[in-house]
Structure 1
Amino acid sequence: MFIKGESKEKRTERVHEIMKRLDAHYGAEPPIFLKHNNAWQLLFATILSAQCTDERVNKVTEKLFKKYTDLMAFANADLLELEEDIKSTGFYHNKAKNIKACARDLIERFQGVVPDSIEELTSLPGVGRKTGNLILGHIYDKNAIVVDTHVKRVSNRLGLAESNDPTETEYQLNDTVPEEYWIRWNTHIISLGRSYCKSASPDCDGCFVNDLCPSCGREEILQATRAGATDRKSKSGKTGMKRKM
């Protein structure tokens, strides 16, 4: 929900203050939630993270990346065996198929190098704008906004986006959030969403940016974002993870 009558200048001032407090609370250096040692490991870990917690993914990849030590190992992996290796992350049929195909594409089309453009990244199997932007920001240090469920929900509640669609939310945030903050926006807002601005029971009273949030104390807005999340979960269960992440 955008704030009615808020000028672009006032909105930018509000974003600066929000980011100042986020930096003070979570640190100015964005953390990496998914453990990895190189670009393709982060790429595959992000594919695995769809509809799964980072903690679970990290437990799986700790063994996975020791078993499959390079792209060729993934490309040549037995599909049923790979499915079993990643089964606990959920939706393992599609994830295994995409990781195996992605490894093959990286070898055959990109000489084993993870590309550094959103167009090339999203041409890879199982890679959508969320995953592509994560690679751009955390591997190539290119300013990009990653929109996951936390970023979408919290950004809407903060009045900096007004959409339930991740891609549309990304484009809106490109306009409302100064580019210098794009990489940190993802990790900071995820942290805020996990600790304070939860979907079901947001701690508005305890939140350190509540005075800058137009949704604070407005139950009708919080209910709307919760309803949107419930509707999307219902749809994702029916579609079987067809959308690229």
Structure 2
Amino acid sequence: MKPAQIQTFLTTLAASNPQPQTELEFSSVFELLAAVLLSAQATDRSVNKATRALFLVANTPEKVLALGLDGLESHIKTIGLYHSKAKHLLQTCQMLVDLHGGQVPRTREALQALPGVGRKTANVVLNVAFGEPTMAVDTHIFRVGNRTGLAPGKTPLAVELGLLKRIPKAFMTDAHHWLILHGRYVCQARTPQCWVCAVANCCDFAPKTQQPPGKKTHGRT
């Protein structure tokens, strides 16, 4: 994808969704961190369903620690890999209390030192909570970066670095959301919905997928 195409690609996504938001539900930086940690290999919908009840009783590191392992697991058992995630979240809460006064740190190094928090999770927190121009490459962004030609790469880190290099500064804060939503609802893994894609004309993917007879679409860009 050439620079002019990248500009058109992002301008079009921005026009269709001027203020993109994460689909995870949260009301504090800690709730965001907890939700993202729990969302690994799980859908946002399943995480939201569990955290709606969890955050009513435990929305701080101290309150989560007070639940203990059994109590926490009882709230998140509908989420995939809940047992290991519960352990990681409790360990993270303990470190937040012991090392950061119960607050979520604002640096990548400190975030990635927390159990269960990798580069992708740190990037989400830095971007969504603190407005940093980071790029959290999940399966959707990895696919979109490669399929469209926006930032091809063999690893998530390669795609991340490519996106950081190629996306104009003016778009960086929101680009993470646009690309995730585009991959989730339009540029899907099995059948990219090219027939409703607003940015198909600047995408390298070929041949474009034609609408199957009777196929319903999400209608999102």
TM-score by length of 1: 0.81
Whether 1:23 and 2:23 are equivalent positions in the alignment is: no
Q: In the comparison of the two structures, how many residue pairs are matched?
A: 209
Cα distance in 1 for residues equivalent to 2:117 and 2:199: 33
Q: Tell me what 2:59 maps to.
A: 69
User: Is 1:77–1:100's contact at 8 Å kept on the other side of the alignment?
Assistant: no
SS in 1 for 2:78: helix
User: Is 2:65–2:90's contact at 8 Å kept on the other side of the alignment?
Assistant: yes
Whether 1:113 and 2:109 are equivalent positions in the alignment is: no
How is 1:1-245 mapped onto 2 (pairs within 5 angstroms)? 11-25=2-16, 27-217=17-207
Cα distance in 2 for residues equivalent to 1:117 and 1:69: 21
Cα distance in 1 for residues equivalent to 2:129 and 2:59: 19
* RMSD over equivalenced CA pairs, Å: 1.5
- Residue 164 of structure 1, CA deviation: 3.7
Counterpart code for 2:84: N
User: Is 2:134–2:176's contact at 8 Å kept on the other side of the alignment?
Assistant: no
SS in 2 for 1:43: helix
- Residue 177 of structure 1, CA deviation: 1.2
User: Is 2:12–2:199's contact at 8 Å kept on the other side of the alignment?
Assistant: yes
Q: What are the superposed Cα offsets for residues 106-160 of structure 1, whole Å, 9 maximum, x if unpaired? A: 1111111111111111111111111111111111111111111111101111112
- Residue 218 of structure 1, CA deviation: 6.3
- Residue 51 of structure 1, CA deviation: 1.2
User: Is 1:56–1:89's contact at 8 Å kept on the other side of the alignment?
Assistant: yes
Cα distance in 1 for residues equivalent to 2:170 and 2:112: 23
SS in 2 for 1:37: coil
User: Is 1:83–1:92's contact at 8 Å kept on the other side of the alignment?
Assistant: yes
Cα distance in 2 for residues equivalent to 1:146 and 1:12: 22
Q: What are the superposed Cα offsets for residues 198-242 of structure 1, whole Å, 9 maximum, x if unpaired? A: 0001112221111101113168xxxxxxxxxxxxxxxxxxxxxxx
Cα distance in 2 for residues equivalent to 1:100 and 1:215: 43
Cα distance in 2 for residues equivalent to 1:174 and 1:59: 33
Cα distance in 1 for residues equivalent to 2:163 and 2:136: 10
Counterpart code for 1:61: T
Identity of aligned residues (%): 33
Counterpart code for 2:4: E
SS in 1 for 2:70: helix
Unaligned runs of 5+ in 2: 210-221
Cα distance in 2 for residues equivalent to 1:96 and 1:56: 15
- Residue 161 of structure 1, CA deviation: 2.0
